Every structure is written in C-alpha cells, then in structure tokens.
Amino acid sequence: MRLSTLRPGIGTFVVAMLILFFGLYITYPVVLILINSFNVAGIGQPAEWSLDNWRSAFSNPSIWGALRNTFFIYFSYTIVAFPSAVLIAWVLARTKIRWSYGLEFMFWVSFMMPSIATTTGWIILLDPHIGFLNSLLTNLSFIDEAPFNMYSVPGIIFAHLMGNAISSQVMLLTPAFRNMDVTLEEAARVSGASNIQTMIRVTLPVMIPPIVLVFMLNIVRIFQSFETEQILGTSIGFFVYSTKIFHFIRVFEPPEYGQATALASIMLVLIAVIVPVQRWLVSRRRYTTITGNFKPGLVDLGTWGPVTFGLIVALLLMLTVIPVLVLIGGSFMTRVGWFITTPVFSLEHWTAVMSKTAFVSAVRTTLILSLTTAIISPLLFSMVAYVLVRTNWRGRAILDTLFWTSAAIPGMLAGLGLLWVITRTPGLNILFGTIWILIIVIVLQGKLSGTQLLKAVYTQMGVDLEEAARVAGAGWLRTYFRIWIPLIMPTLILIGTLNFVLAAQTTSSIILLAARNTETLSILALRMLTDTDGRQLEQAGIVSLFIIAMTVVVALTARTFGLRLGVSHDMRARAQSSDTKKAAAPR
C-alpha cells in the first residue's frame, strides 16, 4: 500500500500531527515572548502583569541603540560583501580562471569555519596591544601606535567579512552564473563590446533575478549574528540586539527578563514586517537562466587572469589559512604577542586546556550533539520531505510555510522563547540545563535546509522503483528503507555533514539553555574570550582549533567515503558493461 494512497483521514491526521508538533515548537516560544513582555516578574516567579517592560524599552536609549547597531553592522559589511561575492562568482563561473572548482570549494571551506575561530585568529593578529601584525608594525621607526584595532566597530565589520559574509554568497551565486546562457554575451562581443562592458551591460542585467533572490534570502542574517559582537563589541560598550538580550539575562544582577523580552518582542514586530516583504520579492518573478537553447561559455581575461587569480587566492588565504596558522602559532606561545618572554614558546596552554574538566565535558557534549544531529536530522526530515512531495494530503502547504517562517527567527530569539517554554510549562523545567533540550534545539534547527534539499531530490526522481516494490508486496517502511534511502543517500550524507558542522559551531540558539556541565566547545571558547576575570586568548584559540579539526575530519570523511553508500553511477555503468561483454561473448 502506497503512503500517498492511504485514506484521506489517516493522511490528514499525519499532517495535522506534524503541523501540531512543529507549530508548537516554532510558534509557542514566540507567543510566550509576546505574552511575557507584559510580565514584570522574573522566570520562575508568579506572574505580575504590567506595561512597565514596554515603557522601559521605549524609554531606554541603549535598547534603541542596540537595534540601530544591528542594522548598521549588517548593512556595513553587506555593502562590501555582496558586490565582492557577485564579482567573485562571475569570475569563477564565467571566466577561464585556473582551478575554478577548487577555488569554489575553498569558499565552502571558509563557510564551514567557525566564526569564533576566525575572529580569534584575527584578534591574535590585530589586537591593539599584543597583535602580531601590530607588534611588527610598531617596531618601525615611523609608526608610534598600533594602526589596527579589532575591538572597534570597523573591527567587527572586518570580522564578519573574514567570517562567512562573502563565502556564503559566493556559494549561492556561482552555480547561478554557471547556468547562464552565453548567447547574449557572444552577441555583445561580436558587436564590439569589451569583456568589462559585456559583464556590466549584459551579464549582470541578465543575472539580476538570481542576484536579487540571494540578496533577499540573505536579509534574515540581519538578526543572526551574536558571537562576533559578543567578543569584540561588549568590551567597548557596543551592543546589538542579540548581545543586549544575553546581557539582560546572563550578566545583569538580578536578570532583567522583562527588558529582554520586550526587546525580543520589538524584534518580532520587525521580523513580521521584513519577512513578508522578503517572500513577496523572492516569489514575484521567475528566475530562469537555462533554456532549451542553453549554451555555456567562458571569458578569457587575458593579462588580467593571473592578477584576478592571485587576488582570489589572497582572499581565500585571509578567510581560511591565515586564521588557522595564527591560532596554531599563538597556542604555543607563553603569552600571545610577547616575544621578550622566556621562553617564548611553551606547551603550558595545551596542558592547561587538556586538563580542564570543562574542556573534556565540552568535547563530549559537542560530539553527542553533533553526531545525534547528523544522524537524526536527515532521516527525520527526509520523511517530512516525502510527505510534502510524494503525497497529496491536505495541510502540506501550511507545514511548508511553518518551516520557512522558522528560518526568520534568530537563534537568540529562539533560545529566549524556549527558555520561557521550559520554565513556564509544567513538567518541562527539568529539561533546563540538560543535554536533552540542546539536542532538541540543534536537531530541529536544520529543518528548513534539510527539507528543501530533500524536496528537490524527491521531485527529480520517478516512482517506478517504489511502485515495483509495492507490487512485490513490500510495505511503506520496507520500501522507504530499501528503495528511497539508498537513492537519496548522497543527499542525506550532505545534510548530515552540514548539520554536524553547524551543530559544532552553534552558540546563540543554545547559550541561554546550557549549564556549565552542558557547555559546548563553541560556548566554552566564547566564555574564555569574554571572561571578566581575565581573557584566556591562547586557550580559546586551542578550543577553536579543536572545533575546526572536528568539523574538517567529519567533512572530509563524508566526502571520501560517504557517497559510496549511495547508488553509484559507476556501479551501474560497470554492470551495463559486464552485460554487454556477456552478450558479445562467443557461445
């Protein structure tokens, strides 16, 4: 019996249960934030209803300053990152640059680099007091003071650029540029236009739809940043909305839950305005770059080719290699930036980190969360995607809309909402500070990307194998695990790998829910960098290196061995070749 042909009542019940589960997870925290914005009592105390939180929010200039800073930081790095990403994507996809696919893969590597790791690396280089580069430059006779300062607004913007602000958009735009038909470009060149004129007057106008699409999809990032601002901004009194909420709850004594919730409610109002506009702009046009007359082609940059190649390689070095090398070098110094100490290099920081109970616990927690997410998320959301694509049950559109809506809720906001959920819902308060609530949060945070990738795969596949299994008497579960799982295994491994990497790096969505014994490596590194009792820069760098090593090992392992678990085209080719040889053999 096919799943899609089950009685409508059963199908409606299944979809209703999915909507109820995911709807409660997504909307219940948001509703509690809005309700408790009028509650002046703290978490765990009897409710006291009043408008004081909103009065304080509207009269507190620091709250409005945090909101203003949030938009300022986003638009400042976007003004640089987005045009740079468009130009780099054009070069990688539309020109005869060497090793274009390898360079594109390195932008994927940059995207997987934890923001805490890259920020720490650049702090070691550009700290105004101990930074390697500043120390080198101040030794020159004509430079009296450090020219660079990471603990500044320009430093925060630079850290975002060196994070994944550029790489994430290059990843999205490069395939779109590769899929563009070259016919119009060839017509422009025949008419006498140069490569630059053709790019400006033909290529970019034709690519406006996907460029706008990527830009609009990127708007939800306005509210997502936390780690960089927490590390670099709080010491100079520069707050964005997420760091302000964190300080209201975790730094202030007593915690200002009311102020934090009121600020979160203001953000919900802004999100409620931005997201519909974003979805309207994304869906109002078709984004076609391939037609039946598709013809690929590449531009020869001539003498500019080596220069362009060198610039992209230099950028990739800044995004990936330089921060890692600096972290490694700084971790072996007795004190980062001090070359007059005796000895200059030492293993004491490695010994100190390895002997910390908190580090051992963080490694265990990170591995549990990442591995659980990598295994459960692909299987769970493959079933949800199957329901969305392979059935005609009512309510599927509502379920899909819930997933898209959840993508607009920032991690800090989701964490605050869940904090209210587990403290205000009877029986759930025992989850606070446990690894179970962290597993739930991290597994479900990949719901949109997982379902959308798997929906695309299901859409591309026919149902003949599934129908053959049904005819042979296999039930739905057996068919699913014997037919569909092998077919979609490459995509499952891709999703599992991405979820492992993201789970190992996650901070904002779980930091309000974690206790000291359930800290992850990213939270531990963040605490070391912002500890008021004394910054532990060298040890934070070592913890960041462990995060990088963990994610790189898993990603390379999945890339090397994982795809072999799927249905291999080489296997099919060998089978066909074997059949052909048998048929041609003399009898």
- Same domain? 20 vs 71: no
Q: pLDDT by residue for the chain (587 residues), tens digit each?
A: 444 444 556 777 888 888 888 888 888 888 888 888 887 776 667 777 888 878 877 788 888 888 899 999 999 999 999 999 988 988 888 888 888 888 988 888 888 888 899 999 999 999 888 888 888 888 887 887 888 899 999 999 999 999 888 988 888 788 777 766 566 666 666 666 666 767 676 666 766 766 776 776 677 677 778 889 999 998 899 999 889 988 888 877 777 777 788 888 777 777 777 666 655 655 554 444 444 444 445 667 778 888 999 999 999 999 999 999 999 998 898 888 777 777 888 888 999 999 999 999 999 999 999 999 988 988 888 888 888 887 888 888 888 878 777 766 778 888 888 888 888 788 888 888 889 999 988 888 877 777 877 887 777 666 666 667 666 666 667 777 777 777 777 778 878 888 888 888 888 888 888 888 899 999 999 998 887 666 788 899 999 999 988 888 877 777 666 545 544 444 443 444 444 444 445 54
Indicate whether 583 belongs to any domain: yes
| Contact indicator for 406, 448 with CB cutoff of 8 Å | yes
DSSP 70-100: HHHHHHHHHHHHHHHHHHHHHHHHHB--TTH
SS3 570: helix
Q: How many domains are there within the chain?
A: 2
| Contact indicator for 227, 119 with CB cutoff of 8 Å | yes
- Same domain? 167 vs 184: yes
DSSP 501-560: HHHHH--TTTTTT--GGG--HHHHHHHHHH-TT---HHHHHHHHHHHHHHHHHHHHHHHH
- Same domain? 330 vs 357: no
- Same domain? 322 vs 374: no
- Same domain? 364 vs 257: no
- Same domain? 305 vs 360: no
Number of C-beta neighbours around residue 343 at 10 A: 8
* Of 497, 542, 563, nearest in space to 109 by CA: 497
SS3 306: helix
Q: How high is the pLDDT of residue 232?
A: 92
* pTM > 0.85: no
- Same domain? 334 vs 417: no
Indicate whether 109 belongs to any domain: yes
Beta bridge partners of 39: 49
- Same domain? 341 vs 351: no
Indicate whether 525 belongs to any domain: yes
Q: How high is the pLDDT of residue 45?
A: 73
Q: How high is the pLDDT of residue 484?
A: 75
Number of C-beta neighbours around residue 207 at 10 A: 23
Residues 6+ apart with CB under 8 A from 503: 366, 369, 370, 373, 374, 442
Q: CA–CA distance from 57 to each of 63, 174, 195, 436, 483 (Å)?
A: 6, 43, 54, 33, 56
Q: How high is the pLDDT of residue 1?
A: 42
Indicate whether 50 belongs to any domain: no
Indicate whether 414 belongs to any domain: yes
Q: Over the Cα atoms of the chain, what is R_g? A: 26
SS3 27: helix
- Same domain? 158 vs 205: yes
**Which domain does 102 fall in, by range?**
55-346
Measured in whole angstroms, the distance separating CA 425 from the mean position of its chain's CA atoms is 30
Q: CA–CA distance from 485 to each of 5, 324, 378, 394, 454 (Å)?
A: 20, 37, 10, 25, 11
* Of 151, 175, 285, 278, nearest in space to 221 by CA: 278
Indicate whether 149 belongs to any domain: yes
Choose one of 346, 375, 410: the last residue of a domain.
346
Indicate whether 46 belongs to any domain: no
What is the CATH classification number for the domain harbouring 439?
1.10.3720.10
Choose one of 293, 324, 346: the last residue of a domain.
346
- Same domain? 217 vs 137: yes
* Of 227, 279, 232, nearest in space to 115 by CA: 227
Distance CA 6, CA 431 (A): 37
281: phi then psi, degrees, rounded to nearest 5:
-70, -35
Indicate whether 42 belongs to any domain: no
Q: How high is the pLDDT of residue 28?
A: 85
- Same domain? 373 vs 460: yes
Choose one of 315, 331, 346: the last residue of a domain.
346
- Same domain? 254 vs 265: yes
Q: At what angle do helices 411-424 and 257-283 cross, to 10 degrees?
A: 130
Query: What would the two tokens of residue 273 be?
Result: 């305005």
